[in-house]
Structure formats: C-alpha cells, structure tokens
Structure 1
Amino acid sequence: MPPTVIEPLSWVAQNKTGGVILFVTNFLQSLHKEDLIYFNPTTLRWEFDLIKIAQKELPVDIVKFLREKIMCLPKEVQAGLNIAACLGSTFDLAVLQKAHRSPDNVVEDSLTLAVENEFVQELAPTHFTWSHDQLQEAAYLVIPMNKQETMHMLIGAIESISIQIEMKF
C-alpha cells in the first residue's frame, strides 16, 4: 500500500495503542479477525474500514488484558516474568536464573519466548528490560500476595550475596 493510503490507519493505531508494539500487534490482529482489515482477492490488495476502526474501543483495563496474556503463557515463562517483575524495570539474566531455581536452559528458553512475545526486550546478551511498564505491573500482579514478600526476600538475599562476592574481589 502506498504511504498515503496506510497513513490514516497508522495514525489511528498509534493514537489507540500509544505506539506500544504489543498493543499495536494485538490491535491489528483483532481488526483482522473482525474483518476490518482484509485482503481483497479481486484487487489483490489489503483494504480496511477506517471509520469502523476509528470507532473501535480498546480494553479499558490494559493491565487486566496483559495479565490475561501472561496467564496464557507456559508456566515456566510466567514464573520467569513474575521474578523479573520483582527485579525491576531492567534485570540481569544471572540474577533471574538464581532466583528462578530451574535449570539455566529452562530460564533461557523461557526468556527467549518472552522476548519473542514482546513482553521484554534484550538490551545486551544478559541484560533485559520490560517492553512497557504496564507489562511489568501485570506480571507483578499475577503473583499471589503471599508469595510476593518471599520473592522479594529471595531476590534481596541473592543480590546481597552477589555484592559481598564482588567486594571480596
């Protein structure tokens, strides 16, 4: 499609999703499912109904929507995201692996899936950040209240030991 044709759709998608790639992707997928974006075999082009798209409402509670997306992931990925949520807006693979208490390859595979699903982004080979702060919030809210304190204590102990080891060397 020429930019002049797609630009109005881009503008609506940007305004409705705030440009957060996970929201944009889900928004476009829902438009396709509802046939608001469709491939016309006669013209051999993608077409869309801009008026109906502009009128489409997004879920009001984005965090609830994101929690549901997290709950659809495999349990190991959920566990990794929960721990990462406790680590903060950025986190290190080594700390995540220690806190996860699963084999390193399981943690790495889970993290790869989280990156592929655009929950987190890789900043460096062993350093990650959340794709959006609301994703971190959603992952944190999935953790049962009685486990949040335990997770924070475990992470604090791991980080304390890491600091002590660094100070010795």
Structure 2
Amino acid sequence: MVALDESRQHAVAALYADHHGWLHTWLCRKLGDSFTAADLAHDTFLRVLRRGLADAIQSPRAYLTVIAGGLVNDHWRRRALEQAWLDELAARPEMFEPSLEERAVILETLDQIARLIDGLPALAREAFLLSQLDGLTYPQIAERLAISVNRVQKAMTQAVKHCYRAMHG
C-alpha cells in the first residue's frame, strides 16, 4: 500500500466522501449493474490513491470520469473477449469442448491478459490488440488507426515494454 502523509490522506478521504456516491451513480447508468459499478468506483479511487495526486486535482468529477471511463471501456472489452470465447466454444463440436476446469483456466488467462494491458494508453492498447489478436501487420494497423507506421512502432514498443515490466516487475 502507498504510504501517505496526513494531508494526502485527508485529500483522498475528502475526494472519496464528496464524489463516491456521484461516481457510483454515474457508473450504474453506464453499466446497468450496481455491483460492477461499485467495483469500478473502488478501482477508480485506488488509481487516484496510487497516483498520489488527490490534493492537486482541479476538476474532481472530470478527473474521476476519465479514470472510470477507461475502466468501463476495459470492462466491456473484457466482457466482449469472454463472450467471444464462449461463442467460439459453443460453435465447436462437443468432443472438442474443453472441460469446466480448462474453461476456467482459459478465462482466467484471458482476464490476466486484459489486466496486463489495462494500464496502456488507448493507442498502444489498440495497436497491440490488432497486432496480437487480429494478426495485422504494422502497415495494416497504421491504415486501420489512421496513423503512421512509425507511430505504430512506437505504440508497440510501449506496449511490449509495459507487458514486460508487468510480468517481470
């Protein structure tokens, strides 16, 4: 856990007290699920806590909305990934269907991958997914994202470094 001095503790506590209810309501509207909204609200404040900037935030709701919005996008992406996997399983003949244990391992692995790339900026994450999941080349990614191949290379370098640091600390 991050060690905070008394003034930062007060800033985080005040931010939480002033905006948690609003953020939870905002997330409920986005997600349609109070439990997931509560989890993402919690994750939002954890990110604020880890960044240690609570006392310097000028527009708290805008700041929280940006963080929570990214978490919502990650949530839907993970859900879509899981659903795609389940759809793929449903389309397979029964004799090729993995056991419940294998399914659990696969879904856990997919969730770990999703968490691994959660911290990436949007462009790096998108380029990484297009490369690794869709098998697109850098020129194809550049065309799809309307950016230069050089920018794709930089985004991929950023993604690979991020993944390496996350896996090897």
- Normalised TM-score (structure 1): 0.32
- Normalised TM-score (structure 2): 0.32
Higher RCO (CA < 8 A, seq sep 6+)? 1
* Structure with more of its chain in strand, by fraction: 1
* Structure with more of its chain in helix, by fraction: 2
Task: Select the structure of larger CA radius of gyration.
Answer: 1
